[in-house]
Structure 1
Amino acid sequence: MKTQQRVGAGPGRGLAAALGATVCAAVFTAAALPGTAWAAGESPYGFDGGAQPIKGAATSLDARPLTAGQSYRDSIKKDGKLYYRVDLGTQENAYVSVVAVPKAGGAAEYGDGITVTLQDGSGAQCGYQDSSFASATFTRPITAYAHRTIEPDRSTCQQAGAYYVLVERTSKAASPPDDWQLEIRYVPEPGVTQNGPTELPENWPSSSPPPPVGGPQKRQGGTGFHDATSLRQGEWRADIEPGQTLFYRVPVDWGQQVFATAELGSSPTGATGYVPNALVLSLDNPARGHVDQNTVSYDGKPATLALDPHRPVAFENRYSSHSTTNALRFAGWYHLSATLSPEIVKEYGDRPVQLTLRVNVTGTPKAGPAYAGDAGPFQVTADDRDAAASGASGDEAGTNDGMVVVAAAGIGAGTVLLAGLGVWSFAGRRRAARDAARGGPGGPQDGPSPFGPPPPAW
């Protein structure tokens, strides 16, 4: 899936019992939010539990606004077009990502996919990206984003006002007619107080590093971006089922490069049936913009694929006309997702296949841009490095969606406090269970952390 893009969130006991019941209800309501759809027979993708429903409009003037940091859910029909709105100032860069989620395990036509475009009020195109299933013609979550970038000496898309997000689903006549679910997110990036370089260096480390040492450690992937399992440099083992997509995230700081390979283990039954494009490995940036992907076929023997080497993460990458380099424009959590073809069932049966991910993060962290505000997700913090070492999922390491739901329900302050404690306790038990399933709270240390201390401001 190559992409195209334009550069461009007593009485006391009675009261305690009542509050405790409310806490339990809130906790289990949070546990039953979207993201547990597998049991309901829908897509196994783990949607953000705090996502709000929204209905995309047929025209730009009817588009409903998106709030920064808030996730949304919608659906799109075959050959559908939907509009949303974002209101922008003159300083911030803006990113709107869309994760398209068809029913898992289905067939797709070559070229089926989505295009996300950001336009200003005159219809001028600020930026776009399209993603498709390409040669791996089976359905799975795919993502694309559009952005408005503040650039020196550019006049288009630099003004304050209403901007419109257009989401288009591209299909062939033979494509399945089912609606696709959408997860939508708008994230701003602060402007900078001083401009840095805009030219990319001619030379950069383009050779792949040796595989990480220490041996494999168990770390099962998440079901979506929201609960993606955190990884640091190392070798990680998981079980992946036919048609399943596993999500991981890796903190990559300014000046660093991420390298990833994926290997399918040999068939335990000795079967040798050939499955083309059996495994897809994708890389997406912190704004959920697509960076790169690769596939490998499988015939019962060990099969390995690697993502191509790419430039280190740098602010000036955003001025590149190369789509992959352009997407490596900020620090933060980079996401890896691995999907196993449902065609595996025909040759090897409906059983999990062993998957190994090998992740390298190279380079010394450098100073980032002098942002005019909080860098938000576009940075690597000490907490991020701790989460990567422990294997915490995104929802465990970030804000707890259960708290958002409780607060939105308008429950009193005392109940909110108790609900927070309840959710915290629930999350702690879940984290302990996940750690046990992953083989412990973290893998072996491969020497000093490759991330080092946080760098000074640019």
Structure 2
Amino acid sequence: MRRRGVRAGRTMPVAAAVLVAGCLTVVPPGQAGAAQASAAPAPAVGSGGYVFADGIEQIRGAATTNDAPALTAGATYKDAIKGGAQLVYRLDLDARTNAYVSAVAVPEPGSTVGTFDGLKVSLQDRNGYNCSANESRFGSAEFPRPLAAYAHRTMDRSSSSCQEAGAYFVVIERRGKDAGPGTWDLEIRHELEPGPRTEGPTAAPENWPSASPPAPAGGPRERAGGAGFSEATGLTEGEWRDRIEPGRSRFYRVPVDWGQQLFVSADLASSSGRGLVFSALDVTLFNPMQGVVAGSVSVPYDGKQKSADLEPLPPVKYENRFDSDAQFENTRFAGWYYLRVSLSPRVAEEFGEKPYGLTLRISVEGTPQAGPGYAGPPGIFDVTEADKDAAATGRSGPEAAASGTMKLVAAAGIGTGTVLVLGLAAWTLLARRRAARAQTPPGPEPARHGAPTAW
């Protein structure tokens, strides 16, 4: 029965790796340390330890379309937005390609947010018509945490709007009557998706498996989450154990190919102490463009273990984009699907300032199918063997890119000294990124008191 409801890691080309290695070989003795520092800049870290994407560019959105700065496909930008404000950016699009823009808002820890406070992203044509718009709100879990939303221009032969080439505008709004005077950092991303060579189905499937699969076998394994979308830790099917501190968010990513379904649940471990936090745990799943696919109902916490199960999702299919249901529309492409888990700071007030046990259960059902037959490179909307390897080994995007670069350099036959210098630079960057997370590493689960209790 049909159910209804609410990429990183590419490796450097061989030629580029050889060029970088060649440049490193001419560094005079005694200057290798400076070269490493230059090659491995510290990541940009925002409020609450959120780590922004590598190579992020500073930009300043305009108040009107007349002054809107242009966004470049494949680039990621950093901006900031005040309460009640809106920022405008420009896109120059052709009449063949699907276009996406996402924004991640990072509020200050300890700031006040309300149920209806949130972030809205719209993509508009020159007449102010919304090609699409999406909004993310804090909802009943009223504590500050990263929010994300996206908008798109989708090529559709049945539509007469937003199909022509020319200028389009992205409007990012911070909405809500309780919006405070402080600013939220923004991480803005623009990507293009080629159209298919030949037209395929234009209707989402009417029937699909909706029963949750059995719990993953093999027992729990340790894997620490990242501190931002770009730092999200790769996961495969299985049971994964981590630790999370009150007021913090953990990020993970799972590769989901065409025709596959993703099932996710998150358990917060029991703890000593007495109290009650009505909205303690927030679990949200995002697609490869940070569009919200599914979110948990507010999970209360009274010190006993609690579980949050995300609603079953339809299989990932290109034709899902032609359905008005958000779950279908947002499972429109293959690639990395992101999971953000956030723990309310109020948990610390009731049960103590300490790391809490977190267990994720991931199931990916279905045999990968052929994609839509893109007319060009799929970019992030694809699952490669390198992606599968990154998920199996728990690498984030930057870690996978660094690992792939080293393999390519070695395959190109570069001298041992050059490989060592390049490796030091790459791993210095990774060490800095890991340190920037300011998170407690995974450890043993906190002691449970009494028999397990179902909720």
Alignment deviations for residues 188-235 of structure 1 (CA, whole Å, 9 cap, x no partner): 001111011012222100111111011111101000001100000010
Task: Using CA pairs under 8 Å that are at least 6 residues apart, name the structure with larger relative contact order, 1 or 2.
Answer: 2
1:81, 1:120 → 2: CA distance? Answer: 17
1:229 aligned onto 2:233: yes
Q: Is the 8 A contact 1:19 1:418 kept in 2?
A: no
Q: Match of 1:33? A: 43
Q: Match of 1:58? A: 63
Match of 1:339 among 322, 342, 352: 342
Task: Give me the identity figure in percent.
Answer: 48
Q: Is the 8 A contact 2:84 2:179 kept in 1?
A: no
Q: Is the 8 A contact 1:3 1:290 kept in 2?
A: no
> Which region of structure 1 is more displaced relative to structure 2, 421-430 or 324-333?
421-430
Number of aligned positions between the proteins: 408
1:23 aligned onto 2:27: no
Measure how far apart 1:105 and its partner are: 3.8
Question: Which structure 1 residue ranges, 5 or more long, are not aligned?
Answer: 404-415, 440-458
TM-aligned CA distance change 1:176 to 1:164, over 3 Å: same
Mapping 1:240-255, distance limit 5 Å:
240-255=244-259
Mapping 1:383-394, distance limit 5 Å:
383-394=386-397
Using the size of structure 2 for normalisation, the TM-score is 0.84
1:122 aligned onto 2:122: no
Runs of 4+ in 1 over 6 A off after TM superposition: 416-419, 428-434
Q: Is the 8 A contact 2:39 2:426 kept in 1?
A: no
Measure how far apart 1:106 and its partner are: 3.1
Structural RMSD (CA):
2.8
Match of 1:92 among 88, 97, 109: 97
2:88, 2:431 → 1: CA distance? Answer: 41
For 1:226, give the aligned amino acid: S
1:274 aligned onto 2:276: yes
1:345, 1:43 → 2: CA distance? Answer: 15
SS of 1:65's equivalent in the other structure is: coil
2:286, 2:327 → 1: CA distance? Answer: 10
Q: Is the 8 A contact 1:23 1:422 kept in 2?
A: no
Q: Match of 1:185? A: 189
2:5, 2:206 → 1: CA distance? Answer: 23
Match of 1:113 among 107, 118, 122: 118
Measure how far apart 1:22 and its partner are: 2.7
2:394, 2:70 → 1: CA distance? Answer: 35
For 1:26, give the aligned amino acid: S
Q: Match of 2:155? A: 150
2:266, 2:434 → 1: CA distance? Answer: 27
Measure how far apart 1:27 and its partner are: 4.2
Alignment deviations for residues 270-301 of structure 1 (CA, whole Å, 9 cap, x no partner): x1311111000000000111111113111011
Using the size of structure 1 for normalisation, the TM-score is 0.84
2:37, 2:433 → 1: CA distance? Answer: 20
Q: Is the 8 A contact 1:206 1:311 kept in 2?
A: yes
Alignment deviations for residues 226-258 of structure 1 (CA, whole Å, 9 cap, x no partner): 110000001011110000000000000000010
